[in-house]
Structure 1
Amino acid sequence: MISEQVAAVVVAARAGDQRARDELVAGYLPLVYNIVGRALDGHADVDDVVQESLLRMLDGLGSLREPEAFRSWLVAVTMNEIRRYWQGHRRAPVAGGLQDAHDVADPGADFVDLTIVRLGLSGQRKEVTEATRWLETDDRALLSLWWLEAAGVLTRGEVASALDLSAEHAAVRVQRMKGQLETARVVVRALAGIERCGELSGLALSWDGVPSALWRKRIARHARTCAVCSGHWSGLIPAEGLLVGLALVPIAGASAGLLAALHGADPALQSAAHATSTAATQPMAAAQG
């Protein structure tokens, strides 16, 4: 539930108040950016999907009957844009990741690296962030919401609503995804110490270096039975405990393409681009909701 103050801004924006529309975009741009960036794994089209999500938010304000439900509605709008992106580019979730041969991560927008560097992560927080690279596409979309829930930005109800699932079904999906994430954390640990295990070094000779579900399973299977690598399963702090209170990844300086695109879009987005590049990056939702 968002605050009465934010609800009042939503009401004004819905009535056409340009200043209120500017305030909504500037306040929630970091939230949308974090959801899309993590769900699309830092691919070059992240900025486009963020911009489309915000434009659809502005265009759809008139249909929002309950201002108090704005944040939940915006998250759902953003997830719909992510799904539309996958469908439009024939990038439906598959076992090994994205299907499109041209769907290559933009090195300058790698969301995992941005998260680690800009939030100064180390230890197991760094490991769990690196592990997200090994998740399938549909699990990354779920992760993008659950990560913010664990950090205290979203509620489970908002996550379930964005997924169009009951709270119970959402809980089952989250539990499965967390299991895959834990396995991926072991893979990250094993690869970090690969020089200590000759068997793993031999196994990895045929790996192309790109994280995938197939290689996550192969390396995890090795780690379960290997006397050297089996210890990586021990001492894992629950991921949600590592994410509590974790800040959003800042936009300023992290997505120049997005800011440039916003300058050519809706006036509200132009104002938000300027505000976001010079001010705080915490959304209203986290600060006041």
Structure 2
Amino acid sequence: MSAVVDAARRGDQAALDELVSHCLPLVYNIVGRALNRSSDVDDVVQNAMVNVVRGLPGVREPQLFRSWLVAVTMNEIRTYMRHRHTTPAPPEDIDNVIDPGSDFEDLTLTQLHLSDQRREVVLATRWLDDDHRHLLSLWWLVEAGHLTRADLVDALRLEPHHVTVRVARMKAQLDTARLVVRALTARPGCADLRNTASGWNGQPAPLWRKRIARHIRTCAHCPNTTSDLVPAERLLAGLALTPVPAGLASDVTHKLHTVASVSRVAPTGTHAVAGTHAVAAGARSGLSLSKALAGVVAAVAVVGGGGLVLANYPDGPDEQPAAATVVQPATETTAPALTPSPT
């Protein structure tokens, strides 16, 4: 996709459309699994894609686009988590844990026709801590073959051995959550477990995962061993992406065409705003200011001329610009004379 990325960042609309259609399913699956049962998945996906399109001109190495795409998506997820408005999820009856169509996980079960232990893995993701669930949203795609290990490391901005430790902890919690799901869906089920879960509000939560897991470890009736659990890696290998709903795909395409059109026809006074958006996107992704400015078109007012100089700094603001273009205003104006400062 490097050639497509390069063409898209240079303004080729056909290449941009191809790039969006290629990466939208990946972004949708990352967001959908990371946010679990959130009703705002579509909004977060759209915001992430807008940030991708706005920041695309600053992607200096097209071969690293996918890692950058994942990092932008995870930043948008973190932004959402900081400002989210909590919407209570529909309660789950202990006798009817699976409610097809109610959230992203059930959409996965319905559209990918999963069965047995794969279903348990999907349902278990609801019970993970937020940090582990966000990590799983990426690790899942690595094991399914849609991302590489290098993509995962780059997106997390951690040392490889730290990523290995985090993945191991997440997998241990996932196996515990799989036992919780298995115990809750067992029929006829454990009477003592029903007593333990008598105060449960029906919504998966870390506190109740720990309580139910503690019951399982000491219960003679509940399945309490992970020995017969097929490793999640094997269950996820080759698993397809959950398809993007047609309505969301249409909304994203329309919104991105609008963003791209505004970028192409923006008046001279808005270039600085576009540059600010790019810098802000870079800052949210954890880049230093100098790196965030790399590849960004900086708009600088020319004192006395009323025009703009658009200078492209491919190697950062401390280097010499590769090119500069003077943009004259639509009408002639006379800039006020400047009085030298006494200092």
TM-score class, shorter: 0.7 to 0.9
Cα distance, 1:146 vs. partner?
Answer: 0.4
Residue 242 of structure 1 aligns to a residue whose secondary structure is: helix
Query: Which structure has the greater CA radius of gyration?
Result: 2
Counterpart position of 1:129: 122
Distance 2:250 2:7 in 1: 27
Cα distance, 1:269 vs. partner?
Answer: 8.3
Counterpart position of 1:65: 60
Structure 2 counterpart of 1:102, from 87, 91, 102: 87
Counterpart position of 2:341: none
Alignment TM-score, normalising by the size of structure 2:
0.69
Distance 2:221 2:256 in 1: 56
Identity of aligned residues (%): 55
Distance 2:259 2:140 in 1: 26
Deviations 1:160-215 (A, max 9, x none): 11111111111111110111000000000111126332211211111111111111
Counterpart position of 1:261: 251
Distance 2:223 2:170 in 1: 21
Which structure is higher in RCO with an 8 Å CA cutoff and minimum separation 6? 1
Counterpart position of 1:225: 218
Distance 1:231 1:174 in 2: 22
What one-letter code is carried by the residue in structure 1 that aligns with 2:87?
A: H
Structure 1 segments unaligned to the other structure (5+ residues): 1-5, 90-99, 271-289
Residue 197 of structure 2 aligns to a residue whose secondary structure is: helix
Residue 196 of structure 1 aligns to a residue whose secondary structure is: coil
What one-letter code is carried by the residue in structure 2 that aligns with 1:112?
A: E
Distance 1:186 1:26 in 2: 37
Task: Give yes or no for the alignment of 1:189 onto 2:174.
Answer: no
Distance 1:112 1:118 in 2: 10
Alignment TM-score, normalising by the size of structure 1:
0.82
Does the 8 Å contact 1:12/1:20 carry over to 2? yes
Deviations 1:214-253 (A, max 9, x none): 1111111111111111445330011111000000001144
Distance 1:226 1:265 in 2: 53
What one-letter code is carried by the residue in structure 1 that aligns with 2:206?
A: A
Greater mean deviation of Cα atoms: 186-195 or 147-156 = 186-195
Say if 1:103 and 1:167 are closer, same or farther in 2 by CA, change over 3 A. farther
Task: Give yes or no for the alignment of 1:41 onto 2:1.
Answer: no
What one-letter code is carried by the residue in structure 2 that aligns with 1:71?
A: R
Alignment of 1:8-19 (within 5 A): 8-19=3-14
Alignment of 1:192-211 (within 5 A): 192-193=185-186, 195-211=188-204
Does the 8 Å contact 1:127/1:189 carry over to 2? yes
Counterpart position of 2:47: 52
What one-letter code is carried by the residue in structure 2 that aligns with 1:102?
A: T
Which structure has more helix as a fraction of its residues? 1
What one-letter code is carried by the residue in structure 1 that aligns with 2:255?
A: A
Residue 79 of structure 1 aligns to a residue whose secondary structure is: helix
Which structure has more strand as a fraction of its residues? 2
Residue 125 of structure 2 aligns to a residue whose secondary structure is: helix
Distance 1:163 1:109 in 2: 30
What one-letter code is carried by the residue in structure 1 that aligns with 2:122?
A: T
Does the 8 Å contact 2:125/2:133 carry over to 1? yes
Say if 1:72 and 1:37 are closer, same or farther in 2 by CA, change over 3 A. same
Structure 2 counterpart of 1:84, from 76, 79, 90: 79
Say if 1:194 and 1:200 are closer, same or farther in 2 by CA, change over 3 A. farther
What one-letter code is carried by the residue in structure 1 that aligns with 2:43?
A: D
Residue 39 of structure 2 aligns to a residue whose secondary structure is: coil
Distance 2:145 2:225 in 1: 28
Does the 8 Å contact 2:179/2:224 carry over to 1? no
Cα distance, 1:132 vs. partner?
Answer: 0.5
Please give the root-mean-square deviation of Cα atoms over the aligned residues, in Å: 2.1
Say if 1:104 and 1:208 are closer, same or farther in 2 by CA, change over 3 A. closer
Does the 8 Å contact 1:112/1:130 carry over to 2? yes
What one-letter code is carried by the residue in structure 2 that aligns with 1:69?
A: L
Cα distance, 1:259 vs. partner?
Answer: 3.7
Does the 8 Å contact 1:125/1:242 carry over to 2? yes
What one-letter code is carried by the residue in structure 2 that aligns with 1:155?
A: T
Counterpart position of 2:278: none
Distance 2:51 2:172 in 1: 34
Counterpart position of 1:97: none
Distance 1:54 1:252 in 2: 15
